[in-house]
């Protein structure tokens, strides 16, 4: 009797296995939850890994304070439904403490997330953070480990990563050191959408086509919000868009799309010609190697 | 071919070749011709190609990785790439050459089912080709594609191609790579022009075999789950202890990934190393109640009897003769820059169990170029040796040749916690 499980089952099983290794090896892990689609997949995987028991870790959101209300409401609702503990660590607290000093009020805050994350890791003494990063997202991630080692300063050193063989994951760390675990490393954007469809996962509404006020600014579509106001001379348009990633408002751009169901998004993703980050992350385009730089500084 | 087929299976493979054999170009070609490369990536590559003074798009830049290596112009670590066709999702482990070759290749091969070994048609079989082939065999890969690349540079000469294949067959039988159960296929190609990778092209009409993509698409990845013994290492024990819910109050379930075989409800099982027996009451994945669990599935099982099971234990069928052991001999690939010290204690991580271990003896070392056995007293990076271990705690192991999941282990340095070695078990102490 010859058998092989389907690719979604395989990816799911691998991710469950990784989460259970975190639970088995780490004393005090945490799952980073943003309300975004990748972290929603992680939650479903955690359910399959640990139910009927509780999750062996709390959820944590690094809140930049620049979020779409739909996403924050969804985040809270989801944590509530699951009955799991949600920790919100906010950049505003770091700003009050003086550990984050903005150069400008309206500057993109994504790059400061690592500071708040590292402070939260220290405060709660987390030895492992589970995140939803994928290797197909960006070049600098293609060599990322599934269990990625960070030193006491949260730094990622590409030359000092542990070789990872078979499905044996070494998550051992000393006090102060940290592992970032990426259960969906081997998933592509398409896999994520197919999984969302199969599992009938609920998503924040801004992932689906909706009407929104935007301006077109140097080739990108910029949504008009209280933190991203219209500039003099710009023309505000109201068009149908959806978001492919949800993050800090100031650095997440929507795409023009009529796709208002998961099925339609899958069809669109299948025929799409621009990678997810290239299209919608305004902050990665600065330099080809900018993501790598940020990873070295402790960002995911 | 950004597919939407939900019934894809997964195939993992690695590519190996010496520097400049065309490995990066080949991967770039696979991704490009299956339409996996998206336009913003392409425009970046175009920019980079121009910066380096190249006019056409250099496909090898697609697989270029991190800043540090771009600066040095070399690749230093295994990178993973993805593409998908109508029938399959592919995960490529791209193992770069240079000094760290052995270590990188063993890492890349450990998760792969197929290896593509590149040969430059002008050069034929080199020492490196032999090294790659030996490592492929060591890590137990059963499907090998010999990609004779740069055929355009030898005018697509069939005779020259044939003589490379003949040479390789002689070598393969000398190192006993051509065992029953291992399949070796030869393909003439030009990665640069795209001949015989995804498209056949028009230059190699004399070759009637499959293209590279056809080989990948048609490979049977299924496992004979009835033939192989059940191995379910327990990773985690679930005890909800929910006092409000009568059903859950005493509920205990055991969680892990099936490394081989088939598990069915009502199967008689035993728990190793305690040898306590029971029967399977329920198998599930999340809310889904299953009649059976198979190879590679992560399941949650409960038993009819209340017996003690913890992380690191293994469920096998009751009639299985498998026993735990406190010693074995294995082929070890040393990964660390710090040499192995026979005086030290190491940690061995095997399935979900970890034990302290001492080196009983280093029996021999393999000269990776001549493949001859040599005497050895220590091991340094990239060495491959035959090592006997004594364990502090029992481990439940199989021979690697019989079971990759339960025959493999990693060695961890007790003080730094770095992963310093990888092992494949060859014989087990009674
Ligand atoms: N003529 C020809 N050149 C090739 C072929 N494949 C690769 N090359 C060239 O060989 C050089 C090395 O290729 P690359 O893919 O970087 O090799 P790698 O070091 O193995 O990754 C590059 O200049 C390629 O353009 C081929 O099939 N024919």
Q: Within this chain, do residues A126 and A40 fall inside the same structural domain, yes or no?
A: yes
Same fold yes or no, B3-224 and B232-317: no
Which pLDDT score is estimated for B87? Answer: 84
Q: Calculate how close chain B gets to A213, using CA atoms only, in Å.
A: 26
Q: Within this chain, do residues A89 and A237 fall inside the same structural domain, yes or no?
A: no
Q: Within this chain, do residues A12 and A156 fall inside the same structural domain, yes or no?
A: yes
Number of domains in chain A: 2
Q: Which atom of ligand 1 is nearest to the CA of B17?
A: 20
Which tokens is B233 given? Answer: 């290492």
For residue B23 and ligand 1, the question of a CB distance below 6 A is answered with: yes
Name the residue in chain B with its Cα closest to that of A21.
Answer: B235
CB atoms within 10 A of CB A161: 17
Q: Within this chain, do residues A121 and A212 fall inside the same structural domain, yes or no?
A: no
Q: Calculate how close chain B gets to A58, using CA atoms only, in Å.
A: 16
Taking the C-alpha atoms of residue B84 and residue B89, their distance in angstroms, rounded to an integer, is 4
For B324-428, which CATH class? mainly beta
For residue B113 and ligand 1, the question of a CB distance below 6 A is answered with: no
- Write out the E strands in B28-182: 79-84, 88-94, 114-120, 143-149
CB B142 within 8 A of CB B181: yes
Neighbouring-strand partners of residue B251: none
Q: Which residues contact B401 (CB under 8 A, 6 or more apart)?
A: B140, B407, B426
- pLDDT (average), residues B127-144: 93
Position A107 in a domain: yes
Mutate: best of A142, A178, A296, partner B, most B CBs <10 A: A142
Q: Which residues contact B245 (CB under 8 A, 6 or more apart)?
A: none
Of A31-35, A95-99, B151-155, give the lowest mean pLDDT range: A95-99
For residue B273 and ligand 1, the question of a CB distance below 6 A is answered with: no
Which tokens is A205 given? Answer: 């509404």
CATH for A164: 3.40.50.620
Provide, as residue numbers in chain A, all residues whose Cβ is less than 8 Å from the Cβ of B264: none
Q: Token pair 């204690």 is at which residue?
A: B345
Position A200 in a domain: no
pLDDT tens for B101-121 read 888 899 999 999 999 999 999
Position A133 in a domain: yes
Q: Within this chain, do residues A157 and A227 fall inside the same structural domain, yes or no?
A: no
Q: Calculate how close chain A gets to B74, using CA atoms only, in Å.
A: 13
CB B57 within 8 A of CB B8: no
For B3-224, which CATH class? alpha beta
For residue B17 and ligand 1, the question of a CB distance below 6 A is answered with: yes
Q: Which residues contact A167 (CB under 8 A, 6 or more apart)?
A: A14, A17, B111, B257, B405
Higher pLDDT residue, B259 or B8?
A: B259
Which pLDDT score is estimated for B7? Answer: 61
Q: Within this chain, do residues A271 and A182 fall inside the same structural domain, yes or no?
A: no
Residue of B14, B20, B128 with the most ligand 1 atoms within 8 Å of its CB, for mutation: B20
Q: Within this chain, do residues A130 and A240 fall inside the same structural domain, yes or no?
A: no
- Write out the E strands in B298-418: 298-303, 314-317, 325-334, 345-350, 353-366, 373-374, 384-395, 408-413
Band (B365; pLDDT cuts 50, 70, 90): very high
Which pLDDT score is estimated for A248? Answer: 80
Of B1-15, B120-134, B162-176, give the lowest mean pLDDT range: B1-15
Q: Does B262 contact A1 at a Cβ distance shorter than 8 Å?
A: yes
Taking the C-alpha atoms of residue B173 and residue A199, their distance in angstroms, rounded to an integer, is 49
- pLDDT (average), residues A234-256: 88
Q: Within this chain, do residues A187 and A220 fall inside the same structural domain, yes or no?
A: no
For residue B19 and ligand 1, the question of a CB distance below 6 A is answered with: yes
Taking the C-alpha atoms of residue A259 and residue A267, their distance in angstroms, rounded to an integer, is 9
Query: Which residue CA neighbors atom 23 of ligand 1 most closely?
Result: B20
Length of chain B measured in residues = 430
CB A266 within 8 A of CB A234: no
Q: Where are the domains of chain B?
A: 3-224, 232-317, 324-428
For residue B25 and ligand 1, the question of a CB distance below 6 A is answered with: yes
Q: Within this chain, do residues A217 and A80 fall inside the same structural domain, yes or no?
A: no
Please name the member of A158, A167, A278 whose beta carbon is closest to the beta carbon of B66: A158
Q: Within this chain, do residues A150 and A225 fall inside the same structural domain, yes or no?
A: no
**B39 pLDDT above the threshold of 50:** no
The reported pTM is 0.92
Alpha helices (H) along B89-179: 101-110, 127-138, 158-174
Domain interval for residue A110:
7-191+289-296
Query: Which residue CA neighbors atom 28 of ligand 1 most closely?
Result: B150
Which pLDDT score is estimated for B95? Answer: 83
Helices and strands, number each (H, E), in chain A? 9, 11
| CA-based nearest residue to B253, from B295, B311, B317, B316 | B311
Which pLDDT score is estimated for A299? Answer: 53
Q: Within this chain, do residues A61 and A17 fall inside the same structural domain, yes or no?
A: yes
> Measured between alpha carbons, how far is residue A195 from residues A12, A190, A262 in Å?
9, 9, 10
CATH superfamily ID and name for B232-317: Translation factors (2.40.30.10)
Provide, as residue numbers in chain A, all residues whose Cβ is less than 8 Å from the Cβ of B79: 142-143
Taking the C-alpha atoms of residue A164 and residue B110, their distance in angstroms, rounded to an integer, is 9
CB atoms within 10 A of CB B249: 12
B38 CA → ligand 1 middle, Å: 22
For residue B21 and ligand 1, the question of a CB distance below 6 A is answered with: yes
**B246 pLDDT above the threshold of 80:** no
Neighbouring-strand partners of residue B357: B346, B391
Sign of the dihedral through C-alpha B66, B71, B76, B81: positive
Which tokens is B80 given? Answer: 């993973």
CB B117 within 8 A of CB B132: yes
Q: Calculate how close chain B gets to A300, using CA atoms only, in Å.
A: 16
Query: What is the predicted ipTM?
Result: 0.91
- pLDDT (average), residues A30-40: 94
The helix/strand/coil state of B291 is coil
Angle at B220 between CA B219 and CA B226, to 5 degrees: 165
Which pLDDT score is estimated for B45? Answer: 54
Q: Within this chain, do residues A14 and A97 fall inside the same structural domain, yes or no?
A: yes
Diameter of chain B by CA atoms?
78
Q: Does A165 contact B106 at a Cβ distance shorter than 8 Å?
A: yes
């Amino acid at each position: 009797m010859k058998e092989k499980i389907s690719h979604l089952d395989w990816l799911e099983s691998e991710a469950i296995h990784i989460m259970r290794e975190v639970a088995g090896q780490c004393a005090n892990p945490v799952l980073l939850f943003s309300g975004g689609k990748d972290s929603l997949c992680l939650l479903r995987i955690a359910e399959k890994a640990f139910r009927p028991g509780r999750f062996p870790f709390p959820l944590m959101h690094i809140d930049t304070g620049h979020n779409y209300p739909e996403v924050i409401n969804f985040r809270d609702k989801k944590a509530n439904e699951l009955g799991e503990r949600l920790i919100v660590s906010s950049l505003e607290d770091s700003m009050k403490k003086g550990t984050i000093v903005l150069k400008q009020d309206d500057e993109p805050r994504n790059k400061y997330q690592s500071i708040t994350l590292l402070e939260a890791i220290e405060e709660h003494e987390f030895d492992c953070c589970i995140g939803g990063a994928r290797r197909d997202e960006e070049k600098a991630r293609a060599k990322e480990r599934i269990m990625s080692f960070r030193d006491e300063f949260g730094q990622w050193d590409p030359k000092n990563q542990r070789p990872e063989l078979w499905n044996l994951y070494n998550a051992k760390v000393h006090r102060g050191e940290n592992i970032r675990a990426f259960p969906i490393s081997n998933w592509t954007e398409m896999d994520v959408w197919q999984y969302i469809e199969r599992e009938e996962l609920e998503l924040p509404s801004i992932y689906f086509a909706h009407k929104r006020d935007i301006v077109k600014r140097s080739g990108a579509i910029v949504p008009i919000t209280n933190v991203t106001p219209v500039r003099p001379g710009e023309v505000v348009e109201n068009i149908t868009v959806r978001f492919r990633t949800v993050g800090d408002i100031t650095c997440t751009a929507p795409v023009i799309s009529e796709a208002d169901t998961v099925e339609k998004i899958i069809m669109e993703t299948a025929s799409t010609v621009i990678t997810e980050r290239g299209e919608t992350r305004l902050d990665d385009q600065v330099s080809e190697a900018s993501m790598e730089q940020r990873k070295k500084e402790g960002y995911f | 071919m950004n597919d939407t087929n939900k019934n894809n299976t997964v195939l993992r493979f690695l590519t190996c070749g010496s520097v400049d054999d065309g490995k990066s170009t080949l991967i770039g070609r696979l991704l490009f011709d299956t339409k996996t490369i998206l336009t913003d990536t392409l425009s970046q590559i175009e920019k980079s190609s121009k910066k380096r003074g190249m006019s056409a798009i250099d496909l090898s830049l697609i697989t270029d990785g991190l800043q540090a290596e771009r600066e040095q112009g070399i690749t230093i670590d295994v990178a993973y790439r993805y593409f998908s066709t109508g029938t399959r999702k592919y995960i490529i482990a791209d193992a770069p050459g240079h000094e760290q070759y052995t270590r990188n290749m063993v890492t890349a091969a450990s998760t792969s089912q197929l290896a593509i070994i590149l040969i430059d048609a002008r050069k034929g079989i080199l020492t490196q080709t032999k090294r790659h082939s030996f490592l492929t065999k060591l890590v137990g890969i059963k499907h090998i594609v010999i990609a004779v690349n740069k055929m355009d540079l030898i005018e697509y000469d069939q005779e020259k191609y044939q003589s490379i294949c003949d040479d390789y067959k002689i070598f393969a039988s000398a190192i006993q790579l051509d065992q029953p159960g291992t399949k070796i296929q030869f393909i003439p190609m030009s990665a640069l022009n795209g001949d015989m990778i995804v498209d056949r092209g028009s230059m190699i009409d004399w070759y009637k075999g499959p293209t590279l993509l056809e080989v990948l698409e048609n490979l049977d990845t299924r496992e004979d789950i009835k033939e192989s013994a059940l191995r379910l290492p327990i990773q985690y024990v679930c005890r909800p202890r929910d006092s409000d819910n009568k059903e859950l109050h005493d509920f205990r379930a055991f969680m892990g990934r099936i490394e081989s075989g088939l598990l069915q409800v009502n199967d008689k099982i035993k728990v190793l190393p305690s040898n306590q027996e029971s029967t399977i009451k329920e198998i599930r994945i999340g809310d889904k109640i299953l009649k059976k669990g198979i190879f590679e599935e992560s399941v949650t099982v409960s038993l009819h009897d209340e017996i003690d099971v913890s992380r690191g234990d293994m469920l096998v069928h009751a009639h299985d003769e498998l026993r735990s052991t406190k010693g074995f001999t294995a082929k070890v690939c040393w990964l660390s820059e710090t040499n192995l010290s026979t005086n030290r204690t190491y940690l061995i991580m095997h399935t979900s169990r970890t034990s302290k271990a001492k080196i009983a003896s280093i029996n021999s070392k393999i000269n990776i170029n001549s493949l001859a056995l040599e005497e050895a007293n220590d091991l340094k990076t990239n060495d491959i040796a035959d090592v006997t271990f004594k364990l502090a705690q029992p481990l439940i192991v199989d021979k690697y040749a019989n079971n990759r999941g339960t025959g493999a282990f990693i060695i961890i340095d007790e003080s730094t916690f770095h992963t310093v070695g990888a092992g494949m078990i060859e014989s087990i102490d009674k």
